Structure 1
């Protein structure tokens, strides 16, 4: 059994990127929840048994180097599968009368708050990490039929590059690894008929807010979604 007691670095580090470019790499695949633990056991992709026992409060991030054998020029690297994210697009609210748009926002916040869903707002998009099965989340959204709201589910890895570090930590708890935020001029392109979001999320604003209003809710109208994994 291989005992891991410290994180050596990350594949994004210049030093490790060069060192690992020609190395024999084994992977330990863990989910987002395991990444928050300081002690667990796991089999690597190549079949080695690993026991992780790192300092409490230390979390493994995607791409962390857990073992380096200079003589064999071999390494063990963590690969973390991030949970999917529901992206709620609010662009169409600008086409509605102000009182309807405001009511829809309150209803959306109330519904998410009742479900205890964490949420991150960036401009006209709301990011909600999956905390339950996507069918359950889709059912909640479809039941309310929020007017002017469209949404889809996308893999967490597709969202990470377009978030500021503190925003990414809010959605993924720091398991995503180093975050490099990018700024884009245009919004994602959306099909009104299907609710699908094409392209990548904008990052013109880096100020997260919680969509967790707790007012009275009544069913709205018009909403659609397609189950999509990118």
Structure 2
């Protein structure tokens, strides 16, 4: 049987009272815990399995994303604690000046956008969300043959993740 969670209670990292409720629920057996990807955290409907193997469906508005430590209540009155997995992202940076390659860079941005591969420009680096297999994205980027363009990868913690969603704010309206 699938537990359905759609009532948002708050974030246990930010709310000490809620953290205490989590501990009480854990001790009384009214507690579930789930670890989801940061990509799934944006979705309106999330199907996952808890750490104890229970199937859970999370239903929420798409205009906000789940964060590490968020707590929802299931229809059966259990508290569901959400954890976010580390986020692996592709990092593009340049070891040479790129001013002579502006047109190629615009074209690269256009191609990434056409494939709907989310990007963020931050601190002179371009971060690409691994929406599909990294090798496919990497191959597409290498086809541009831009001198000095380097491709690397980073693991970002849930507390230092990059929010690629178009709705990067956290309103909890249902």
TM-score normalised to structure 2 length:
0.68
TM-score normalised to structure 1 length:
0.54
Out of 64, 70, 92, the residue aligned to residue 88 of structure 1 is 92
Q: In the alignment, does 2:10 pair up with 1:6?
A: no
Q: Structure 1, residues 120-167: CA drift from partner, whole Å, max 9, x if none? A: 222321112123210011112333331122121222437x62x7xxxx
Specify whether residues 28 and 89 from structure 1 end up closer, same or farther in structure 2 by C-alpha distance, changes over 3 A only.
same
Question: Larger deviation: 4-13 or 28-37?
Answer: 28-37
Q: Structure 1, residues 50-79: CA drift from partner, whole Å, max 9, x if none? A: 2333456454333211249xxxxx842112
- Name the counterpart of 2:51: 45
Specify whether residues 32 and 14 from structure 1 end up closer, same or farther in structure 2 by C-alpha distance, changes over 3 A only.
closer
Measured in 1, the distance between the counterparts of 2:62 and 2:123 equals 36
SS at match of 1:131: coil
Specify whether residues 108 and 157 from structure 1 end up closer, same or farther in structure 2 by C-alpha distance, changes over 3 A only.
farther
Consecutive unaligned residues in structure 2, runs of 5 or more: none
Alignment map for 1:104-183 (pairs within 5 Å): 104-116=101-113, 117-157=117-157, 161=160, 168-169=162-163, 171-172=164-165
Specify whether residues 20 and 104 from structure 1 end up closer, same or farther in structure 2 by C-alpha distance, changes over 3 A only.
farther
Measured in 1, the distance between the counterparts of 2:99 and 2:64 equals 42
Consecutive unaligned residues in structure 1, runs of 5 or more: 69-73, 95-100, 178-230
The answer on whether the counterparts of 1:120 and 1:128 sit within 8 Å (CA) in structure 2 is: yes
The answer on whether the counterparts of 1:82 and 1:172 sit within 8 Å (CA) in structure 2 is: no
In the TM superposition, residue 13 of structure 1 has moved relative to its aligned partner by 0.6
Out of 54, 60, 66, the residue aligned to residue 60 of structure 1 is 66
The answer on whether the counterparts of 2:10 and 2:18 sit within 8 Å (CA) in structure 1 is: no
- Name the counterpart of 1:79: 83
In the TM superposition, residue 22 of structure 1 has moved relative to its aligned partner by 5.0
Measured in 2, the distance between the counterparts of 1:140 and 1:118 equals 14
Out of 33, 36, 46, the residue aligned to residue 30 of structure 1 is 36
Structure showing greater relative contact order (alpha-carbon pairs closer than 8 Å, 6 or more residues apart):
2
**Paired positions, count:** 158
In the TM superposition, residue 93 of structure 1 has moved relative to its aligned partner by 2.6
SS at match of 1:7: strand
Q: How large is the Cα RMSD of the aligned pairs?
A: 3.4
Going by fraction, where is strand more abundant, 1 or 2? 2
SS at match of 2:109: helix
